[in-house]
Chains A and B, each alone.
Chain A
C-alpha cells in the first residue's frame, strides 16, 4: 500500500494543526530515534518507525523486546528519554496521552482495561461523549443524548455486542471483554489505532469475531498491532517490524521477514509459517 493510496482522513470534528502542507502525504505516524531507559536498563533504543496512512503494520518480537514500552511512548503514557513522535507531521512528543487521543491516536491494552462497574453501553457512551466534546457537560442528561446513543448502537452492532448492552462489564465473558476493549478504542474515532495483542487469551474458536472486527476496519484507519499470533500477523499485516532487545532488527513485507535469516534465528526459530 503506497502512501498516496492511504490518505488519512482526519477524525470527527478534529483539527490537525501544524501539518506540513505539501504535495506528498505525511506519514500518519512517525517515530524518530525513540528511546526509553529505566535506570541502566534500555527498554527502547533508537526506534524508528514510519506508517503511511491506512497502513497495516505489525510489530513482533520476543517477550521483553520492548513492544509495549514502545506503544506507551507513542501514545504518551511514558515520556521518552530521547526521540520524537509525529502525528501527521505534527510533533506530539510533549503532549499528554489524552491530547494525542484527541488528535486521532488511540490504543488498546494487552490486559483488558475496562470499566468493570459500568455497563457495556455506559462504557461506550463514555468514550463517545468524550469524542464529541461532551465529556465536561454536567447539565445534559445521559438519556437524552440522541446522537451519542446512535453512535453507541452502531458500534455495538459492529462488535456484535448489542444483546449485551445492558450487562455490567464485570459479568461479560472474556471473549466479549476483549471485543469491548477494542470497542472502547474505536469509540474514540481514531485515525491511528495501536492494538496491543488483540487476540491475547482468546481461544481459537472464539477469535473469529475479533478477526472480523479488525478486518472490517476501513482504510481511513491506520493500524499498528503487536501480536504473537503469527496467523493473525501474516493474515493482516502488510509490513512488519521486528523488535529485539529494544531495537528494530529489521522491517519489511511479510515475505521478506519470513525469509530473513536473522529473524528466523532470533524469533521464528527457523520455522516458516
Chain B
C-alpha cells in the first residue's frame, strides 16, 4: 500500500506544515507598517514587542513543555542588568550587549533548571517563585552595583553599527527591536516545528509516556528552560538598551504575572500568541490605566478569572479548540482518501 514511500495524506493535513499562516504574516507586516504609520507611538510599540518577546520565552516552557513558572522575570532582569552594566562601564555596543545578556541569562537558567526539572506540581511552582524572588532580593541588596530600588541609570547605548543613533523618537530603537524580535520569533518557530518541539509537546501531553519511549525528559527540560531563560534575557537587554534604564521591577513578580496574562489573552502553545497577547495587554492597559491606576488592575484580574474559568479545555485548550475546529473543517473539505 504505502510501500512506495509516498504518503497517502499530505503533511499539511497532518498538521506538520510550517508555512506561515495568514495571521502571522499579517502581524509582522502590521509591525513594519507601524514604523511609518504611527511615528508618535514607536516607543510604546517597542515596549509591546519586547513584552511579546518575553511572553514568547515563557510560552516555550509553559505552552510547550508545560512548566508553570511564576519567576520567569528573573531572567529578564538578569539580561537587563547585564546589558545595563556593560553600558554603564563603557561598552554600549548593542549587539554584543544582547549576546552577553543572552549568555548570562541562559547560564542562570541552566543552573536553576536543575531545581525545576526534578520537582512536580506545587513544589516546582514554589521553586520558580523562590528563584524569582531571590534574584529580585539580590538586585535590591546589591544596590551599589544595581542601583537598588532606584534602578540603574547612566546607560548609553552606542550608535547601531556606528551609523544609526538612538534618537528620542525611538525610530532606530523600534527597528532594532523589531529585527531582534522577528529573528527570535523565527528561531522559536523553527524549534517548535522540529523533533525537539514535538518532544516538548509530548512531555506536556504525557510525561510518563515520554520516559517509556526513550526520551531523556530531564535533559530536554533543562535544554528548553535554558533556551527560554536566554530569550528572556534578550528581551531584558532590549528593554535596557532602548530605554537606557533598568528598574528593579524588571525582576518583579508583576512582570512574571504580566507575561502569564499575555499568554492567557493571546493563547499559549502558539508561537504568535505571545505577541497577540502582548498587544491586547498593552492596549487594554493604556485604555484603562488612564481612568484610575487601580481600574486597570481590577478589570485585568477579572478578565483573567473569566478566561481561566470559562475557557473550555483551559488556557491551552481554548486556543487549540478554535484551531481544531478550523482544521477539521479544512480536512473535511480537502480529504484525499488514502488508497486501500
Which of B76-84, B107-115, B190-198, B270-278 lies on the face that meets chain A?
Answer: B190-198
What distance in Å separates the Cβ of A189 from its nearest Cβ neighbour in chain B? 9
Number of interface residues of A (CB under 8 A): 53
Residues of B within 8 A of A (CB): 1-3, 5, 7-9, 11, 13-18, 190-191, 193-199, 201-202, 204-206, 208-209, 211-217, 219-220, 223, 320, 324, 331, 338
Q: Which of these, A98, A129, A145, A162, contacts B338 with CB under 8 Å?
A: A162
Residue numbers in A under 8 Å from B196 (CB-CB): 135-138
Which of A79-87, A102-110, A211-219 lies on the face that meets chain B?
Answer: A102-110
What distance in Å separates the Cβ of B212 from its nearest Cβ neighbour in chain A? 6
Is the CB of A235 closer than 8 A to any CB of chain B? no
Most buried by B among A116, A142, A150, A153: A142
Residue numbers in B under 8 Å from A140 (CB-CB): 194-195
A134 touches B2 (CB 8 A): no
The 5 closest A-B pairs by CB, nearest first: A101-B214, A138-B196, A115-B205, A129-B195, A143-B11
A236 to B211, CA, bound (A): 28
Is the CB of A165 closer than 8 A to any CB of chain B? yes
Most buried by A among B5, B220, B223: B5
Q: Which of these, B201, B215, B220, B223, contacts A118 with CB under 8 Å?
A: B201
Residue numbers in A under 8 Å from B202 (CB-CB): 115, 118, 123, 126
Residue numbers in B under 8 Å from A122 (CB-CB): 14-16, 198, 201
B213 touches A184 (CB 8 A): yes
B212 touches A162 (CB 8 A): no
Residue numbers in B under 8 Å from A41 (CB-CB): none
What distance in Å separates the Cβ of B268 from its nearest Cβ neighbour in chain A? 12
A106 touches B9 (CB 8 A): no
B209 touches A113 (CB 8 A): yes
Q: Which of these, B2, B5, B213, contacts A127 with CB under 8 Å?
A: B213
A 50-81 binary contact with B (CB < 8 Å = 1; else 0):
00000000000000000000000001010000
Is the CB of A187 closer than 8 A to any CB of chain B? yes
Q: A109-B212, A157-B1 are in contact. Are A116 and B195 (CB under 8 A)?
A: no
A98 touches B209 (CB 8 A): no
B15 touches A98 (CB 8 A): no
Chain B residue nearest in CB terms to A154: B2
How many A-B pairs have beta carbons closer than 8 Å: the answer is 148
Residue numbers in A under 8 Å from B209 (CB-CB): 109, 113-115, 184
A126 touches B213 (CB 8 A): yes
Is the CB of A268 closer than 8 A to any CB of chain B? no
What distance in Å separates the Cβ of A181 from its nearest Cβ neighbour in chain B? 9
Q: Which of these, B16, B17, B208, B212, contacts A106 with CB under 8 Å?
A: B212
B198 touches A188 (CB 8 A): no
Is the CB of A119 closer than 8 A to any CB of chain B? yes
Most buried by B among A107, A114, A127, A140: A127
Is the CB of A45 closer than 8 A to any CB of chain B? no
A255 to B331, CA, bound (A): 52
Q: Which of these, A96, A117, A136, contacts B220 with CB under 8 Å?
A: A136
A129 touches B198 (CB 8 A): yes
Between A and B, 30 residue pairs with Cβ closer than 8 Å are A97-B211, A97-B212, A98-B214, A98-B216, A101-B212, A107-B212, A114-B206, A115-B206, A118-B201, A122-B14, A129-B195, A130-B199, A135-B196, A135-B220, A136-B195, A136-B220, A136-B223, A138-B190, A138-B191, A138-B194, A138-B196, A138-B197, A142-B193, A143-B16, A153-B2, A153-B8, A154-B2, A154-B3, A162-B2, A165-B14
A131 to B194, CA, bound (A): 15
A154 to B325, CA, bound (A): 29
A265 to B93, CA, bound (A): 83
A136 to B197, CA, bound (A): 9
What distance in Å separates the Cβ of A169 from its nearest Cβ neighbour in chain B? 8
A117 touches B211 (CB 8 A): no
Is the CB of A250 closer than 8 A to any CB of chain B? no
What distance in Å separates the Cβ of A124 from its nearest Cβ neighbour in chain B? 10
B195 touches A145 (CB 8 A): yes
Residue numbers in A under 8 Å from B205 (CB-CB): 115-118
B18 touches A98 (CB 8 A): no
Is the CB of A166 closer than 8 A to any CB of chain B? yes
B215 touches A113 (CB 8 A): no
Chain A residue nearest in CB terms to B213: A127
A240 to B231, CA, bound (A): 55
Is the CB of A225 closer than 8 A to any CB of chain B? no
What distance in Å separates the Cβ of A86 from its nearest Cβ neighbour in chain B? 19
A141 touches B5 (CB 8 A): no
A126 to B206, CA, bound (A): 12
B18 touches A142 (CB 8 A): yes
Q: A97-B212, A116-B205 are in contact. Are A137 and B195 (CB under 8 A)?
A: yes
